[in-house]
Amino acid sequence: MSRTPTQLLTPADQERRRGLRVMKGVALGALLGMAVVFLVSFAFEEQVPALAYVRAAAEGGMVGALADWFAVTALFRHPLGIPIPHTAIIPNRKDEIGRTLGEFVETNFLSAEVVRTKLEATRIAQHAGEWLREPVHAERVTAEASVMASGVLRALSDEDVQDVIEQLAREHLLQPDWGPPLGAWLGRIVESGAHHGAVDMAVETIQLWLASNQAAFAGLVSRRLPAWMPSLASRLIDDTVYNEAVKFAAAVRADPQHPARKAIDGYLDRLADNLQHDPATIGRLEDAKLTLFDSPRVRELAAEAWNTAKAGLLSSLADPESGLRRRAATAIAEVGERLATEPPLQHRVDTWVTDAAVFLVDRYRHDIASIITDTVERWDPAETTEKIELMVGRDLQYIRLNGTIVGALAGLVIFSIAHALLG
């Protein structure tokens, strides 16, 4: 159901309508005033010859008022409802006006030269930096960005995101063989000696455990001895095993060249080589990988990863005091400070923004201008006429009023010249 022009009027349009009615009344009053003056002067012209000048002025004023009324009315509708050619110009030529307006904007406002000249004189980076470096503005940008990011996260389909994560995990994590890259990584660790710290930590942990768990060695060996062995001998054996374990751990920890360390280095070196070149070792690792990450488990891990990340992000984005938002606001303020104080950076950013804007305008200016054309084409002729008349109609009524005054002066001058020359 189409809306009437009155239903489309905003409060500002309503005010313009009242002003238009007032000016129409003034212009019409001037015309009627000229008509009254004409009738009076025409009726008493013989008794008062000087009224001939008044009659000529009134006559010219009426002609000017009527001519300008016709011209103004013809822009928006047929005068007196008579379909005179070349009247009701705006409703009849609405689409052509829209195309002409679009071409005008495209040619005069969306040219590369105009955009480049304007942007080069604007100092975009400096102004943006001065605004962004204020903490309140940086926090505002962060808050708006957080709202947008939260909206995007909530709009995403959990199922679709989980499918993407699962697909990426299978493609980049599970499908490639793990053996060769793990072997190469382990080989580099062994070659650089980076594993020695882990060995030291393991030995230290064993020492601490031994110091705190001597009782665990009670019966460790003696339980496996014959029953006829004396209990004293059994205890002595258990204590000996414990003490030797403590000495061994201390010796490994104290000696960087201990044979046990050498044995560990050799084992890790062989393992690294086997992971890269031994099919049996590679196959066992792949079997273990497939057993650990079967299809249901991969799907479950993808869901857990996404749900955890999503919940954490939404919580951080919603909390103004969260670390994420505070760091983002700080980063934005720091960027603003640099933009405001570093001329080389300002020049780079201004150049980038200008070049990007010029490229977009030069490439898409016809599409941008077509918005005007397409929008005007969709407008209803009556609504278009109503809107345009409200925007410019009040000023056009001054044309009628001026036409009345100019017509009266012209009529007076013409009559005066004719009377002076012809008597």
Cα–chain-centroid distance for residue 180?
A: 44
Please write the tens of the pLDDT for every residue from 108-167.
Answer: 888 888 888 888 888 899 999 999 999 999 999 999 999 999 999 888 888 888 888 878
Q: Is the dihedral angle over the CA atoms 131, 137, 142, 144 positive or is it negative?
A: negative
8 A C-beta contact, residue 202 and residue 249: no
Give a yes or no: residue 350 inside a domain: no
Q: Are 90 and 48 in contact (CB under 8 A)?
A: no
In a domain? residue 227: yes
Are both 409 and 292 inside the same structural domain?
Answer: no
Average pLDDT over residues 7-25: 82
22, 216, 265, 268 from 192: Cα distances, Å? 93, 37, 11, 12
pLDDT at 3: 44
CA–CA separation, 146 vs 123, rounded Å? 28
* Mean pLDDT value across residues 68-97: 86
Q: Which residue has the higher pLDDT, 81 or 335?
A: 335
* 63 token code pair: 């002609």
Q: What is the mean pLDDT of the chain?
A: 85
Do 83 and 184 belong to one domain? no
Contacts of 386 (CB under 8 A, 6+ apart): 5, 8, 9
The answer, yes or no, to whether residue 5 has pLDDT greater than 50, is no
Residues 279-305 have pLDDT tens digits of 888 888 888 877 766 667 777 877 888
The residue range of the domain holding 261 is 174-301
In a domain, 45, yes or no: yes
Average pLDDT over residues 22-48: 92
282, 301, 320: which is the final residue of a domain? 301
Residue 221: band (very low, low, confident or very high) from pLDDT cuts 50, 70, 90: low
Give domain status of residue 190, yes or no: yes
Token pair 């305008």 is at which residue? 361
pLDDT class of 8 with cuts at 50, 70, 90: low
pLDDT the model gives residue 17 = 87
For residues 295 and 178, state if they share a domain: yes
Q: Which amino acid is at 368?
A: I
In a domain, 162, yes or no: no
How many domains does the chain contain in total?
2
Tell me what pLDDT residue 223 has: 61
What's residue 131's pLDDT?
A: 94
The reply to whether 384 and 285 lie within a common domain is no
Q: What is the pLDDT of residues 324-362, one digit of tens each?
A: 999 999 999 999 999 999 999 999 999 999 999 989 888
Residue pair 41/24 in contact (Cβ under 8 Å)? The answer is: no
Q: Is the predicted pLDDT of residue 413 greater than 90, yes or no?
A: yes
Predicted pLDDT at 238: 67
pLDDT at position 30, please?
92
By mean pLDDT, which of 24-33, 229-238, 322-331, 371-380 is the weakest? 229-238
**Residue 70 sits in the same domain as residue 181:** no
The helix/strand/coil state of 228 is coil
**70: in domain:** yes
In a domain, 216, yes or no: yes
Among candidate residues 301, 316, 345, the one where a domain is terminated: 301
Per-residue pLDDT at 224: 57
Q: Give the least confident one: 8-17, 264-273, 359-368.
A: 8-17
In a domain, 160, yes or no: no
* Residues 259-291: b if buried by 16+ CB within 10 A, e if exposed: eebeebeeebeebbebbbeeeebbeebeeeeee
Q: What is the value of pTM for the model shown?
A: 0.56
Amino acid 218: pLDDT: 66
What is 377-404 written as a DSSP string? HHS-HHHHHHHHHHHHHHHHHHHHHHHH
Those residues with Cβ within 8 angstroms of residue 323's Cβ, 6 or more apart along the chain or in another chain:
316
Share of the chain above pLDDT 90, in %: 29
Q: CA-to-CA distance for 274 and 347, rounded, in angstroms?
A: 56
Q: Is the pLDDT of residue 75 over 70?
A: yes
The residue from 301, 328, 358 where one domain ends is: 301
Model confidence pLDDT, tens digit, residues 153-207: 888 888 888 888 878 777 766 777 778 888 888 888 888 888 888 888 988 888 8
Q: What is the pLDDT confidence band of residue 380, given thresholds at 50, 70 and 90? A: confident
Helices 135-155 and 124-132: crossing angle, nearest 10°? 90
